[in-house]
Amino acid sequence: MKSKSPAWPTLSRIVAALIGGYLFTYAFTAALARLLPMDKVDALVVASLPSFLIYTLAILWAFACRNAWRAWAGMALALPLAAIGFWPQWREVLG
Amino acid sequence: MALIVALLLACGGMLGLCLGLERHYKQLWHRLPSPMLRRGLRGMGWVLLAASFAVSVQVWGWAMGPVAWFGLISLAGLSVAFLLPYSAR
Amino acid sequence: MKHKTLTQSMAWLHTWSGLIFGWLLFAIFLTGTLAVFDKEIDGWMRPEIPATSLSQSAAAQQALGYLARQHPEAKTWNIGLPGERSDTLTVSAGEQRRGGGTALDPRTGEPLAVRETAGGGFFFRFHFTLNLPRDLGIWTVGLAAMAMLVALISGIVIHKKFFKDFFTFRPAKGQRSWLDAHNATAVLVLPFHLMITYTGLVIFYLIYMPAAVDALFDGDRDNLGRALRGAPAEQQVRGERPTRSEAAELTALEPLLAEAERAMGPVSSLSIHNPGRSNARIEARPVLGNRIELTKGQSMLFDGVSGEVLRQPAVSRPSLLTQKVMAGLHFAQFGGYSMRWLYFVCGLASCAMLATGVVLFTVKRRRRHDGEGAVGALLYHIAERLNVAVVAGLMVACVAFLWANRLLPVELAQRGGWEVRVFFLVWLLSLGHAIIRPWRSAWREQLGLAAALCISLPALSLLGESLGDYLYLELTSVALGLLLAWPCWKLYQAPKERAPRRVGKQPVAQVN
């Protein structure tokens, strides 16, 4: 593998994939668990089982997309998803 | 034993699918197969794979049978792929 | 980074995730494959335990006799029963501890002096913890499993001629052959690779992805545990206060075992609470195996005096059933020996896929590593040596572990720990050997050693007493040894002189 191109974009993608991807998956799973119209235990299981597929796709996307900025933009979707997943807790904290 | 039958059917099935591809037919018999022969071999291959599935379900039931079947056809496919070049010589 | 096509970026991802995690993954898959037969290996590592053809109820009677003599006042008796996979009869009194207890000779009911050993369970534990502290190990293996999924999916994306090349294998063509072998073992066994990797992650899914626990239960594990266990009627009837109980004879075990087996499949162990009293209770636990669902922790409760069923085994709700079926697919405790063998051979195919992958990386660069710059050349040299140490060296270490079990003195204190030390010492030595020897010699010497140790394993049964029935295990060891002898032999043959490679433009897309 010739590495004539600078390393920063690649490093950025790696961080976006591993850490950003995990945070995205975490938020996605929480949001899904909260949105599923089932009792808590069922929602928990049904939301958590596909999480590894989501994480895998997020990692692949971080490397497939056009540039490192887009990778991070995708991972930033974690924020609205986290809001959906954790709104009762956030509402409590915000008073 | 039904397991051996399922395995042999899987091998037959994978062999049919393999020889139904031009390059492998040519590898074994050194001439090109006609399209009809290729389709026949592939069709036979699928039939034998289905038979293997049926036997697997008979041996292990509807839950474990498909699991075992995937394992059997994988290993059958590997055997065909690795033995073919040596039997072509 | 200049814009790459999808194939180019996925090829890059496949190569690097595959290489960096390939060594770890090989260790995980090799020990996992061996762990398929962990109980059988465990039996081989305790040669003092005799092969038995006694029925479970006869063995249980012997155990009861021993327990009545030795622990007549105990509140609980635990009996681990022999079964299809294991001839071991163990007993203990008091709270049941995992792996504890005294082994009894089922023929006489007397305790056996069994050597202390790390057992087949070592491969099982190494498989999901890499012998690291439990949490660190579980996370490391989880990360490797994610890398495996990434490598599998990216590998599918870049494999252009998926169906055309399905059965393609061209031996004796150098790099081409290694790529063919890697593709064949990957594609033909793809359902297994995907299933085993994903289900492996599912086992510890709440450790790896606690998001739903944090969102729905505020991260409260105890609350979650209570919700998972369900209605109070399902809960364990344990630690009952003994209310005015009189002496009463324990019910006959044979019909009880038969009923338990009818409901749950073969029984693995019994716990008898308040034996010899009128409030006696007998808990029967199943051998995992008559269904795919992982039924660990399940049990059936009987009245100890009348033998009547007090509590049937719990039925899982559909969502949890799904998770337990997935976990069960990974644990491979179902379907009997034929299924176990299928998993074993598929596991070996996975190991072959990983090994051919990392070897392919070095084969590609053997001739042209000097043109890659200093970092590239260094990486090549490291990879060349790690390949030998991880692929061949680990195999030597595994069989050396078994040899240590029979050669280390029986009276050695903490024998189990010493067996594990031998494993790591041999592995370390193989790394040293791989560093000093040229690559060809390193490979053939280590493969040769592994082959020799595997083929001569049965001879170890000639030293000291070896009372169990180890025919299949020893035959498998010989077969694996012969399998390893083949590449070793090929490496001793002179390499064929090939025409100098046409150094032309190679399409970057192919992971060639």
Q: Does the distance separating the beta carbons of A25 and C212 come in below 8 Å?
A: no
Residues of C in contact with B80 (CB under 8 A): 167
- Name the pairing type of β-strands C76-80 and C89-93: antiparallel
Is residue C322's pLDDT more than 70?
Answer: yes
Q: Is the pLDDT of residue C502 over 50?
A: no
* Subunit contact B77:C329, Cβ cutoff 8 A: no
Neighbouring-strand partners of residue C267: C286
Q: Which two tokens stand for residue C325?
A: 């079926």
Nearest by CB to C292, from B64, B84, B85: name it: B64
Average pLDDT over every residue of C110-136: 91
Cα(C453)–Cα(C405) distance, rounded to whole angstroms?
A: 13
Query: Picking from C1-5, C173-177, C295-299, which range would have the lowest pLDDT averaged per residue?
Result: C1-5
Does residue C199 lie in a domain region?
A: no
**Do residues C265 and C290 touch, judged by C-beta distance below 8 A?**
yes
Indicate whether A72 belongs to any domain: yes
Residue stretches of chain B with pLDDT short of 70:
none
Q: What is the pLDDT, as a whole number, of residue C234?
A: 39
Residue C436 one-letter amino acid: I
Structural domain containing residue A55 = 10-94
Residues C353 and C388 in one domain: yes
pLDDT at C337 over 50: yes
* Residues from chain B contacting residue C349 (CB–CB below 8 Å): 74-75, 78
The per-residue pLDDT for C507 is 43
What pLDDT, on the 0 to 100 scale, is given for residue C456?
Answer: 95
Contact C167 B86 (CB under 8 A): no
Q: Please list, in sequence order, all residues whose beta carbon lies within 8 angstroms of the beta carbon of residue B39, skipping any fewer than 6 positions away.
A: B20
User: pLDDT, tens digit, for every residue of A2-53?
Assistant: 445 678 888 999 999 999 999 999 999 999 999 999 999 999 999 999 999 9
Task: Indicate whether C505 pLDDT > 50.
Answer: no
Q: What is the DSSP letter of B21?
A: S
What is the structure's pLDDT at C402?
96
Q: Which of C33, C162, C167 to mutate to test the interface with B (most CBs of B within 10 A)?
A: C167
- Residue C446 has a pLDDT of 96
What is the domain extent for residue C70?
Answer: 56-104
Residues ≥6 apart with Cβ < 8 Å to B28: B19, B84, B87, B88
Pick from A79-88, C118-127, C263-272: least confident:
C263-272
Report, as an integer, the average pLDDT of C318-346: 91
Question: Do C and A touch (≥3 CB pairs < 8 Å)?
Answer: yes
User: And the tokens for C50?
Assistant: 């005799």
C81: pLDDT strictly greater than 60: yes
- How does the average pLDDT of chain C come out, rounded? 87
- Inform me whether the C-beta atom of residue A93 falls under 8 Å from chain C C-beta atoms: no
DSSP H or E run through C267? strand C267-273
- Match 């807790």 to its residue by tokens: A89
The pLDDT value given to residue C72: 84
Q: What is the pLDDT of residue A5?
A: 60
**Mean local confidence (pLDDT), C189-197:** 97
Tally helices (H) and strands (E) across chain A. Answer: 6, 0
Report pLDDT for C307: 84
Determine the average pLDDT of the residues in C60-84: 87
pLDDT, residue C190, reads: 96
Q: Which has the minimum average pLDDT: C28-32, C224-228, C280-284? A: C224-228
How sure is the predictor about C231, in pLDDT bands with cuts at 50, 70 and 90? very low
Residue A50 at interface with chain C, using a CB cutoff of 8 Å: no
Are C67 and C178 in the same domain?
no
Cβ of A85 under 8 Å from any chain C Cβ? yes
- Residue C94 reports pLDDT greater than 90: no
Confidence label for C376 from pLDDT (cuts 50, 70 and 90): confident
Task: Name residues whose C-beta falls within 8 Å of residue C380's C-beta, 6 or more positions apart in sequence.
Answer: C362, C365, C366, C369, C372
The whole-angstrom separation of Cα C8 and Cα C306 is 71
Same domain, C364 and C448: yes
Tell me which chains share at least 3 CB pairs under 8 Å with chain B: C
With 70 as the cut, is the pLDDT of residue C95 above it? yes
Of A59-68, C48-57, C91-100, C232-241, the one with minimum mean pLDDT is C232-241
- Give mean pLDDT, residues C269-276: 87
- Predicted pLDDT of residue C370: 67
How many residue pairs from chains B and C have C-beta atoms closer than 8 A? 74
Name the strand (E) or helix (H) holding C222.
helix C221-229
Answer yes or no: is A3 within a domain: no
With tokens 């791989």, the residue in question is C434
pTM: 0.90
Question: Among C347, A24, C230, which Cα is nearest to B75's?
Answer: C347
Q: Higher-confidence residue: C164 or B71?
A: B71
Portion 4-43 of A in contact with C at CB < 8 A: 5-6, 9-10, 25-34, 38, 40-43
Report pLDDT for C501. Answer: 47
| pLDDT (average), residues C279-283 | 88
Q: Would you call B80 and C291 a contact, using CB atoms and an 8 Å cutoff?
A: no
The percentage of chain C sitting over the pLDDT mark of 90, rounded to a whole number, equals 49
Task: Report the share of chain C in percent with pLDDT over 70.
Answer: 90
Asked if pLDDT for residue C290 goes beyond 80, the answer is no
Tell me how many domains chain C contains: 3
Kindly state the average pLDDT of the residues C387-404.
Answer: 96
- Report whether pLDDT(C235) > 50: no
Predicted pLDDT of residue C204:
94
The mean pLDDT value for C35-43 works out to: 93
**Model confidence band, residue C160 (pLDDT cutoffs 50, 70, 90):** confident
Per the model's pLDDT, the better-predicted residue between C5 and B47 turns out to be B47
Whether the per-residue pLDDT at C393 is higher than 60: the answer is: yes
pLDDT at B70: 96
Is the pLDDT assigned to residue A58 strictly greater than 90? Answer: yes
If you average pLDDT over residues C225-249, what whole number do you get?
Answer: 60
- Whether the Cβ atoms of residue C160 and residue B50 lie closer than 8 Å to each other: no
What confidence category does residue C244 fall into, taking pLDDT thresholds of 50, 70 and 90? low
Q: How confident is the model at residue C8 (pLDDT cuts 50, 70, 90)?
A: very high
Co-location of C437 and C341 in the same domain: yes
Name the least confident of C24-28, C130-134, C416-420, C468-472: C468-472
